[in-house]
Every structure is written in C-alpha cells, then in structure tokens.
Amino acid sequence: MNAPRAASRHRYLVAEPGYYRPVFVAGKAFPVARSNFFQLMEFPNSWHDPRLRLINGKWLFVGVHEGIDITAERGTPVLSMTLGIVERVGWSFYGGTRVGVRGTDGRYYFYAHLAAVAPGIVPGARVQAGTYLGRVGNTGYGTDPGHRDEFAPHLHFGIQAANSGPWVNPYPLLVALYSATVRSDERAQSAIDRLAVSGKRRAWEHAIARWSLGLSPW
C-alpha cells in the first residue's frame, strides 16, 4: 500500500483571476474583461473572412464573417460595449447563447457563443457600458440549446447599423478600446506598485483598496 504523497499535505495557493475595471473611451468599453493574471486574449482582424460550411459532404461558401472573434478563456466576463437596452437573449443556431443590445445610438450590439448569461440580463433590461452580460464560451452550431465545443471559446462580437442596416466592421473600434484599456491598467498598476516599493504604505493601502472595489485608485 502506498503512503500518501508528501505533497498532498501542503496547501497550495490557487487564486481566482481578478479582472480590471472597465475603461471607457467616449462612453464605450472593450467587451471582454482584462485580467491581472496571464490571460489569453487575441482578436486578429477576421472581418469579412470567407465562411465555409460542410453541407451534404461539400464545403460551400455561405457568406463572410460579419464581426470579430475575440479569443479568451472560457468564463471570462463579457461586458456591454455601450449604453442601451437588452433586445434579445437566448439561443440561435450559429450564435449559440447570445445577447443583443440596442445601443442608444440605434445600433445593434451582438455578443455570441456565451457560456452563460449574467443575472438580470433579460429583454428590456437597461445596461451601461461595462455592464456584465455573461461569460465567454463556445456554444452554437447546433439546434439544441447549450450545444458547444464545435470550436475554441471566443466572443463573436458584431455591430449592426441602425434600422437593421448592414453589419459594420468593429475592428478599428475594438483596437482603440483595447489599447486604451491596456494603457490605463498598466499606468494604474505601475503607480500602485511604485507606492508599494517606496514604502508609502498608507497611500498604497488607500489606492489598492479603491482599485479592488472597481474605483479609480486615486
């Protein structure tokens, strides 16, 4: 009989990731929360990439990609880009579990393949930029609600012009919002770290307490 392994007597610290508070540029927020942990986050420009589907044994061209895919770990919070009213929540064949928000600018903001929808996100609910809508997942490409795992987890994000107009390319906006988020988070993090190493304990405690509540650290 094997003795219990020595390692099992130790408790390892396994912390949950913390997410940075949303950063707003002209009232808009990047739609996937950034983490203070090492995080997979990438969104190559996939706007209007050809989309092929295997139909009756043949690969057929079915249209172009009318959005941008933001790859992130399953469970990463999805945030509303904009102020608006939730218009659609639920299942669609390609989109899986998805949320659609009608922005106050009249445009439709589409968040697809979610693993879960956040509490209170129901048709008619009012959301702000940065409101938690749900979690990144890989649902869709199936008729049964909850069908998943046909592709890697990512957020499909799309913007449709007002009055059911054409889908518009959200890529430049996503790049601008992501860049602003990274710059802001890194400025705040390095300023807080400088307080810590300089021994300004009261100032550091004040900043870190505010930041952990989702407030500006200053």
Shortest distance in whole angstroms from residue 170 CB to Zn ion: 11
> Tokens 């809508």 map to which residue?
133
Shortest distance in whole angstroms from residue 155 CB to Zn ion: 8
Other CB atoms within 10 A of residue 40 CB: 12
Q: Which long-range contacts (CB under 8 A, 24 or more apart) does 59-68 make?
A: 66/158, 66/167, 67/110, 67/112, 67/156, 67/157, 67/158, 67/159, 67/167, 67/170, 68/43, 68/156, 68/157, 68/158, 68/169, 68/170, 68/171, 68/174
Give whichever of 21 and 156 is closer to Zn ion, judged by the CB atom.
Answer: 156
Q: Which of residues 101-140 bind Zn ion (CB under 5 A)?
A: none
> Binding segment for Zn ion among 31-39, 51-59, 68-76, 187-195 (CB under 5 A)?
68-76
Give whichever of 67 and 134 is closer to Zn ion, judged by the CB atom.
Answer: 67
> Binding segment for Zn ion among 48-56, 63-71, 84-92, 160-168 (CB under 5 A)?
63-71
Q: Is 156 in the site for Zn ion (CB under 5 A)?
A: yes
Q: Is 66 in the site for Zn ion (CB under 5 A)?
A: no
Shortest distance in whole angstroms from residue 199 CB to Zn ion: 49
Q: Is 69 in the site for Zn ion (CB under 5 A)?
A: yes
Which residues sit at the interface with Zn ion, rule CB under 5 A? 67, 69, 156
